[in-house]
Amino acid sequence: MARARRNFSITALPGFASIAVLTFVLLYVPIATLVVFSFNEAASMSRWQGFSLQWYQAAFDNSQVREVSIRALWLAVTASAIATFAATLAALATTRTPKFPGQTMIYALVNQPLMVPEVVTGTALLIFFAGIKMQTGYTGMGYLVAAHSAFCIPFAYLPIRARLQTMDLTLERAAADLYANHFQTFRYVTLPLLLPGVLAGFMLGFVISLDTVVITEFVKSAGQDTLATYMLGQIRRTVTPEMNAIATLFLLLSAVVVVLFFILSRKRP
């Protein structure tokens, strides 16, 4: 008894195993079902009739799916790149400069999308962009790019900042001591060491942009559906395994990116 108490372990609590199993079932059974039925021969979501790739074929043949997929990927790459760039600058400013007034404020501002509900941000953007649309008449992808970029910044910022904080400051001092100017110090010392953090930030931003429905729904103009909003629209009408196939591919892409993210953020400087 005494021994058990000394080596307290949460796994020893009664019911731990059943709760754990239940959690995993709730998390993964729906996903597993989705994946399995994407390979179903029939159009049914409840009856398995045999293996087939026909729904993948259908998805690839669907020009609308192709169009929204390309748009979503393009948007995710662009927005995440912009967000990563801005997040890198913000992280440098909040870790590499002496404390300045308003630093905490900037930290809060950068992380605003994490704290404000998406519907609020979405509504605000809708109203704000509507004004600009009225004034300029511009209805292109710029609004979505801007909205996604802003939304992705905190997700890119956090891993980059974490990386910078663990980096030895004397390395940058040493570079300056060896006649490197600010830019050279950044280019040859800080950036190479920061790169895993930057890539991790980019990937996180990429996944977030690919995934976000609410912001996109509020901001997009006609004909600017992304994969996420397109699927939402389809599912409202009829559910076919074609959606399963798209979702499975989507899942695969996210999984690959997330795994890469973990590998990169684990790598120590």
Partner 1 sequence: MADTTGRAASATNEIEIKRLSKVFWQGDAAFRALDEVTIGIRSGEFFTLLGPSGCGKTTLLRLIAGFEQPSAGEVIINGRQVAGLGPNARPVNTVFQNYALFPHMTVADNIGFGLRMLGKSAAVVRETTGRMLELVRMEAMAARKPSEISGGQQQRVALARALAPQPRVLLLDEPLSALDLKLRKEMQSELKRLQTETGITFVFVTHDQHEALTMSDRIAVMSGGRILQSGSPADIYNHPAERFVADFIGDTNFLDVEIVAVNGRAADVRLPGGGTRRASLPEGLSPSAGTNVTIVIRPEHASITDEAADFEGTVEDAVFFGTDTHVHLRLPGESRFTLRRQNTGAGAVALPEGSRVGVRVAEGGIQVLRN
User: Between 216 and 245, how does the x/- string for binding to partner 1 read (CB under 8 A)?
Assistant: ------------------------------
Decide if residue 176 touches partner 1 (CB under 8 A): yes
Q: Minimal CA–CA distance to 162: which of 79, 261, 256, 254? A: 261
Q: Binding residue for partner 1 (CB under 8 A) from 23, 44, 166, 181?
A: 181
| Helical ranges in the chain per DSSP H | 2-6, 16-38, 54-61, 63-95, 103-110, 112-115, 118-136, 142-166, 169-177, 182-185, 191-211, 214-219, 227-237, 241-266
Shortest Å, Cβ 266 to partner 1: 16
Return the number of other C-beta atoms located less than 10 Å from residue 210's C-beta.
23
Decide if residue 64 touches partner 1 (CB under 8 A): no
Of the pair 193, 251, the CB lying nearest partner 1 is at 193
Decide if residue 100 touches partner 1 (CB under 8 A): no
- The C-alpha angle with vertex 80 and arms to 78 and 82, in degrees rounded to 5, equals 70
- Which of 31-39, 115-123, 187-195, 240-248 is the region at the interface with partner 1 (rule: CB under 8 A)? 187-195
- Which of 47-55, 155-163, 186-194, 198-206 is the region at the interface with partner 1 (rule: CB under 8 A)? 186-194
For the record, the structure tokens of 246 come out as 């798209």
Q: Binding residue for partner 1 (CB under 8 A) from 192, 258, 259, 260?
A: 192
| Torsions phi, psi for 32 (to 5 deg) | -60, -40
Residues that bind partner 1 (CB under 8 A): 168, 170-171, 173-181, 184, 188-189, 192-193, 269
